[in-house]
């Protein structure tokens, strides 16, 4: 198997590391700054004998090296700065995504695509439009990231392993995301049996702003360990045909009463990419929150369409 990671920054390089060290595939790390891509690729390859894997890792600035990739992971783009919203990244990152997706689709026409570049749901829309790939082959990694943050915060508050926490976040990757505490459990125990509503509400709010919290702490740059871990989980589900049910940004065409919008919902991931959208029963409040999140994404998409004419 072969995976191309576009972008050799912190997210891209860490993603390449996780995929290679998990033994999922050979990895090509591509960046317009080919020296950085080549240097990080070589560094990762030199670590392989110690880590103990046999995957090949190549850093490059040439799209021909990405030919026939099974999976393309798009991480390239300008990161958020303190005080900057994801949506403010739109103009510059839309151009980057358009160029990269056009070139990768030419050399890897049968690939699956996982989008990471922000604003996530909108760049996933752009990738689908630019490549013309079927909707099962274009996915955005955000629900997995937002959900693992939600799980981590629950585990931290309760003093238990986050691995035992099952929780999901739906909707757009931004302030309008929809954490789902009603269905959250710890080893099968409902969250409401373990935590009062005030504590739950605080965790929900912290989850919504978790990315911004890291941006403000770092000062420059944004999160990369957790996003890379989210990509690895999605990549494993696809490359190993695991049939995992994960929250993924995909094109909705009537599901949840929503259409023509990429939004995070539960999806079965396997060799066919986004093989099935799972529709769960929502309360009226959850349904309204999901619709509001969809409208927020559509508004930014409209801004993009107006920008490109």
Give the CATH number of the domain where residue 76 resides.
3.40.50.720
Q: What is the pLDDT of residue 97?
A: 97
> Which CA distances in Å does 283 have to 76, 95, 286?
37, 38, 5
10 & 135 share domain: yes
Mean pLDDT of 165-188: 96
17 & 78 share domain: yes
190 & 134 share domain: no
Give the CATH number of the domain where residue 247 resides.
3.90.110.10
223 & 165 share domain: yes
Whether the predicted pLDDT of 86 surpasses 60: no
Catalytic, 53? Answer no
The model's confidence at residue 96, banded by pLDDT at 50, 70 and 90, is: very high
248 & 113 share domain: no
Paired with 2 in beta bridges are 26
For residue 117, the enclosing domain spans 2-140
131 & 178 share domain: no
Q: How crowded is residue 134: how many other Cβ atoms within 10 Å of its Cβ?
A: 12
73 & 43 share domain: yes
Residue where a domain terminates, one of 74, 106, 140:
140
Residue where a domain terminates, one of 101, 117, 140:
140
* Cβ contact 300:119 at 8 Å: yes
pTM recorded for the entire structure: 0.95
117 & 163 share domain: no
| Residue 130 token pair | 């630019």
252 & 203 share domain: yes
3-class DSSP assignment, residue 267: strand
Count of the separate structural domains present in the chain? 2
Q: Give dist(CA 186, CA 169) in Å, integer.
A: 16
For 259-297, write each residue's pLDDT tens digit.
Answer: 999 999 999 999 999 999 999 999 999 999 999 999 999
**Which candidate in 151, 173, 208, 298 is catalytic?**
173
């Amino acid at each position: 198997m072969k995976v191309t990671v576009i972008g050799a920054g912190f997210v891209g390089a860490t993603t390449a590391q996780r995929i290679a060290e998990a033994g999922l595939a050979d990895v090509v790390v591509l960046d317009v700054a080919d020296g950085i891509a080549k240097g990080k690729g070589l560094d990762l390859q030199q670590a392989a004998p110690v880590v103990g894997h046999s995957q090949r890792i190549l850093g490059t600035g040439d799209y021909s090296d990405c030919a026939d990739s099974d999976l393309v992971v798009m991480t390239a783009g300008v990161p958020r700065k303190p005080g900057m919203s994801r949506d403010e990244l739109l103009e510059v990152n839309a151009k980057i995504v358009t160029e990269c997706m056009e070139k990768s689709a030419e050399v890897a026409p049968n690939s699956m695509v996982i989008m990471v570049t922000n604003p996530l749901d909108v760049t996933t829309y752009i990738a689908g439009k630019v490549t013309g790939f079927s909707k099962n082959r274009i996915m955005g990694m955000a629900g997995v990231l937002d959900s693992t943050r939600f799980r981590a915060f629950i585990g931290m508050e309760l003093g238990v392993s986050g691995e035992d926490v099952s929780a999901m976040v739906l909707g757009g990757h931004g302030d309008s995301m929809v954490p789902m505490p009603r269905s959250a459990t710890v080893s099968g125990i409902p969250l409401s049996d373990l935590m009062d509503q005030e504590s739950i509400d605080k965790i929900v709010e912290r989850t919504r702003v978790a990315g911004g919290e890291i941006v403000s702490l770092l000062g420059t740059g944004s999160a990369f360990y957790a996003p890379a871990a989210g990509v690895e989980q999605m990549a494993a589900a696809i490359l190993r045909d695991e049939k995992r049910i994960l929250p993924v940004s995909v094109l909705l065409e009537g599901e949840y009463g929503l259409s023509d919008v990429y939004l995070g919902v539960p999806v079965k991931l396997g060799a066919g990419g986004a093989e099935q959208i799972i529709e769960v029963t929502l309360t009226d409040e959850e349904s309204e929150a999901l619709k509001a999140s969809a409208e927020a994404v559509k508004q930014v998409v409209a801004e993009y369409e107006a920008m490109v004419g």
